[in-house]
Structure 1
């Protein structure tokens, strides 16, 4: 049964452009750019996704960071199979590392609209990747061509979630990314997504007050930044305030290379971000990106590579992104 499209979900005028008869064709086993061309008649699937993302981002620009994190947390576990979207008492959503992941409702909205127009064709996994690409573009991060044709996974277990924490060493994070087929340069580029990210005071209190039990702040953090952050992250506060990973107010919601300039100036918020600029394994790459004019192009290429991670396990096209299909 087709789901009804809420009039409040996206602008009515935009929807009218896309309501057309759909047609189904077979699914290729390989990812490809433009996979959904003609899969739904004359409906432009990627344009629908972009319309919904644009509408939502106009109301909440922090969704750019949320979607980047959603894709990373999905792809890094069982590959890009939307396993993070599945509900359940022990699903990936319940893992501690995914406790503050957002963007599920946006993916649900897009899926509902696409199912109404072209049922059983567009995977939830592809929606995550397309929506993230559109969010990056709308945040001035350039548009990159995404490959599509993924299937949705049928397994989602919190016990499978093993993401690198913000306090790991550079060698540890490079090792974790290498296991996914990503190079050191890919790693530095993908962590550049922190240019629009946020953290919370609880994750950086040690850097501000008692780094490694010394009773002093992290010596690698700019002293002026320490003082600024202490005002927001007081030891006596009962609120775990949010902190922008890019402390430049004019660029905190823009996907750009200023993140690298900040960490070079010892203004990295997360320990791993700061260490990227100091560790011999990555410092030259960070320095180059801080002055690069092609960051958005290279970031897009790294996102495409992240999106190509797969588990090889059997999949399906879920009708509802939160549950596997009933047989």
Structure 2
């Protein structure tokens, strides 16, 4: 293990005993401090996908490939806990933003993406491996881990949204064989990011500002460690009169709860186990954990979308909804769009036997 990662691994093991007062900035510890006028945050190079129209197809495994592929993944996801389902959505995002949607985030070993601090809290690896094992029995060497991650992200979204988010997943991805920890910090938008930084980092992945705002709605479920928003560089719990300040009532509650960086709290304090549009109401009310969420009110273009997505549908006689909140369909479209990023083909990828390691060329 490289010396820097060895130190980080030790620090990670100590986080449970470190109080917020002595919080360690996970980004500064890896060489990437929060942005400031004198030292801008380093952005990943902006480039179009290697194949702007990847050779993906809805129903790719139907007929003679592996007809039960999507159903097998769905069954594995159905058995997951709500927390694991939220983790599967995040897993898809973290995979696609680093090396493209190629399951590189699943690879184990020193200096891989999994060892980087933003990924130490990822969940759902066991669900992916369970689905992969079943698929290898059903149709050996056919279904890529990258497609399993994409299917699982869809199925988890459908489950946590009570069926409001459901979409067809174009498939045919191959698994990559490159996974580097350092790439994580250059590509994953940080929780302390301002509106320009977050927008630019999404743009580098072929996603526009609307996609960014729509996908940010994924923060309506799941949990976060206190150290992600209460640290020596960006302490959201301190008294603050800025336009992005956290609502004092929530901040005071979290000041009591966050006794250590490792304490986990819900991203959405109202509906923590539902993938819903409550997130946008929370943004309006300044009841969000991250600066990257709070800044969505800072421009007229993003604020109008927040307001639109925050609205509840009208109801007839209190039980029959009229209309549909547009965020659910927008989220589905953005997930498909993100899933097209830097898709690997058979020339540069493979179909892994085990999602945590590249194939042994002699045996598979």
Q: Does 1:253 align with 2:285?
A: no
Distance 1:312 1:50, change over 3 A: closer
Pairwise CA distance, 1:227: 1.9
Distance 1:297 1:219, change over 3 A: closer
Which residue is equivalent to 1:323? 357
Distance 1:239 1:151, change over 3 A: closer
Tell me how far apart the structure 2 counterparts of residues 204 and 324 of structure 1 sit (CA, whole Å). 35
Deviations 1:245-275 (A, max 9, x none): 1110xx2111111100111011111111111
Which residue is equivalent to 1:8? none
From 169, 174, 183, give the equivalent of 1:146. Answer: 169
Which residue is equivalent to 2:46? none
Pairwise CA distance, 1:217: 9.3
Tell me how far apart the structure 1 counterparts of residues 137 and 358 of structure 2 sit (CA, whole Å). 18
Which residue is equivalent to 1:240? 262
Tell me how far apart the structure 2 counterparts of residues 100 and 49 of structure 1 sit (CA, whole Å). 22
Deviations 1:152-202 (A, max 9, x none): 001111122221110011110100000111011100010100000211222
Q: Does 1:160 align with 2:180?
A: no
Which residue is equivalent to 1:180? 205
Q: Secondary structure at the match of 2:85?
A: helix
Pairwise CA distance, 1:209: 2.4
Tell me how far apart the structure 1 counterparts of residues 245 and 117 of structure 2 sit (CA, whole Å). 28
Tell me how far apart the structure 2 counterparts of residues 320 and 263 of structure 1 sit (CA, whole Å). 40
User: Which of structure 1's runs of 4+ aligned residues deviate more than 4 A?
Assistant: 216-219
Alpha carbons 1:277, 1:286 under 8 Å: kept = yes
Alpha carbons 2:215, 2:335 under 8 Å: kept = yes
Tell me how far apart the structure 2 counterparts of residues 246 and 284 of structure 1 sit (CA, whole Å). 21
Deviations 1:7-63 (A, max 9, x none): xxxxxxxxxxxxxxxxxxxxxx7101110001346x42111111111012xxx2111
From 136, 148, 172, give the equivalent of 2:157. Answer: 136
Pairwise CA distance, 1:238: 4.5
Distance 1:120 1:222, change over 3 A: same
| Unmatched tracts of structure 1, length 5 or more | 1-28
Q: Does 1:266 align with 2:291?
A: no
Which residue is equivalent to 1:207? 236
Q: Does 1:125 align with 2:124?
A: no
Deviations 1:106-138 (A, max 9, x none): 111100000011001000000000011111111
Residue correspondences, number: 286
Q: Secondary structure at the match of 2:158?
A: helix
Which residue is equivalent to 1:305? 337
Q: Normalising to structure 1: TM-score of the pair?
A: 0.83
Alpha carbons 2:165, 2:331 under 8 Å: kept = no
Q: Normalising to structure 2: TM-score of the pair?
A: 0.75
Which residue is equivalent to 1:55? 79
From 294, 307, 312, give the equivalent of 1:287. Answer: 307
Q: Does 1:88 align with 2:109?
A: yes
Alpha carbons 1:79, 1:310 under 8 Å: kept = yes
Tell me how far apart the structure 2 counterparts of residues 146 and 227 of structure 1 sit (CA, whole Å). 42
Deviations 1:188-236 (A, max 9, x none): 010100000211222222111266xxxx898722222122222212xxx
Tell me how far apart the structure 2 counterparts of residues 238 and 47 of structure 1 sit (CA, whole Å). 41
Alpha carbons 2:89, 2:153 under 8 Å: kept = yes
Deviations 1:48-103 (A, max 9, x none): 111111012xxx21112201111111000111000111112111111122111111
Q: Secondary structure at the match of 2:332?
A: helix
Alpha carbons 1:225, 1:267 under 8 Å: kept = yes
